[in-house]
C-alpha cells in the first residue's frame, strides 16, 4: 500500500487532479478478469477454454493486463478461522495532529505492523480506518493496548467488532 503524498497548502487556485484514464477493456478482457478473480489458479489452457480463445492469444491478453497494471498481483486468500483468527475488527483512528511528520510516522508504523490487514486514510471527522483479526478477547485486548494505542501519534480509537459477515469479496465488477 502506498503512502499519501503530502504537499503544503497553497492559497492560489489549483486545478483538480484527474485520475488516470480508464483502460480500454473489451468483453474478452472483462471475461478473463472475471474468471481470474474467481480462480487465480486457472491454467492458461483452462482460462483460454473458458473465454473461447487460443492459449497463445489468451496468454498475450493476460500479459497485457499484467503489464498495464490492471492485474496487480496473484494471491492465496486464507481462511482466518482455519488459522485460529475467529474475530474481525475495524478501528477508527484519530491522530493527535495532522502534521506531515505524524502522518508519515503513523503510516510507516502501520505498514510495518503485520497484524494490521488494511489501513485507509479517510475523509470526514476521523483520520484512518484499519482492519485486523484476532483470536479471542485476550488477543483483542493485547492488540489494542500493545499495538494499536502504541502507534505513533494515535490520540484515540473506536473499534467495531464484526458479529457476522454479510458480504465479503475481493472481486471488482468488470
Domain of 41, CATH number, reads: 1.10.10.10
Map grid coordinates 489458479 to a residue: 41
Whether residues 100 and 59 fall in one domain: no
In a domain, 18, yes or no: no
Structural domain including 87 reads 81-161
Distance CA 40, CA 74 (A): 7
pLDDT at 22: 75
User: Rounded to a whole number, what is the distance in angstroms from the first to the last CA of the chain?
Assistant: 22
- Tell if the pTM clears 0.85, that is, is over it: no
The structural domain count of the chain equals 2
Choose one of 40, 67, 94: the last residue of a domain. Answer: 67
In a domain, 4, yes or no: no
Choose one of 18, 45, 67: the last residue of a domain. Answer: 67
Name beta bridge partners: 116. 132
Taking only the tens of pLDDT, the chain with its 174 residues reads 444 444 444 444 445 555 567 779 999 999 999 999 999 999 999 999 999 999 999 999 999 999 999 999 999 999 999 999 999 999 999 999 999 999 999 999 999 999 999 999 999 999 999 999 999 999 999 999 999 999 999 999 999 999 999 999 999 999
pLDDT at 67: 97
| DSSP 8-state symbol, 52 | T
Name beta bridge partners: 131. 90, 118
In a domain, 116, yes or no: yes
Whether residues 91 and 156 fall in one domain: yes
DSSP characters for 65-91? HHHTTSS----PPP-TGGGT--EEEEE
Choose one of 17, 44, 67: the last residue of a domain. Answer: 67
Amino acid at each position: 500500500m502506498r503512502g499519501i503524498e503530502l504537499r503544503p497548502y497553497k492559497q492560489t487556485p489549483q486545478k483538480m487532479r484527474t485520475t488516470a484514464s480508464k483502460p480500454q477493456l473489451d468483453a474478452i478482457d472483462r471475461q478473463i478478469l472475471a474468471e481470474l478473480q474467481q480462480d487465480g489458479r486457472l491454467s492458461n489452457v483452462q482460462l483460454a477454454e473458458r473465454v473461447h480463445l487460443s492459449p497463445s492469444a489468451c496468454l498475450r491478453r493476460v500479459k497485457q493486463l499484467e503489464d498495464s497494471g490492471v492485474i496487480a498481483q496473484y494471491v492465496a486468500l486464507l481462511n482466518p478461522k482455519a488459522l485460529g483468527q475467529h474475530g474481525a475488527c475495524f478501528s477508527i483512528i484519530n491522530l493527535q495532529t495532522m502534521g506531515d511528520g505524524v502522518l508519515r510516522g503513523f503510516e510507516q508504523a502501520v505498514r510495518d505492523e503485520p497484524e494490521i490487514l488494511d489501513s485507509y486514510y479517510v475523509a470526514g471527522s476521523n483520520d484512518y480506518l484499519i482492519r485486523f483479526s484476532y483470536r479471542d478477547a485476550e488477543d483483542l485486548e493485547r492488540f489494542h493496548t500493545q499495538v494499536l494505542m502504541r502507534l505513533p501519534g494515535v490520540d484515540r480509537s473506536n473499534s467495531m467488532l464484526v458479529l457476522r459477515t454479510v458480504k465479503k469479496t475481493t472481486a471488482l465488477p468488470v
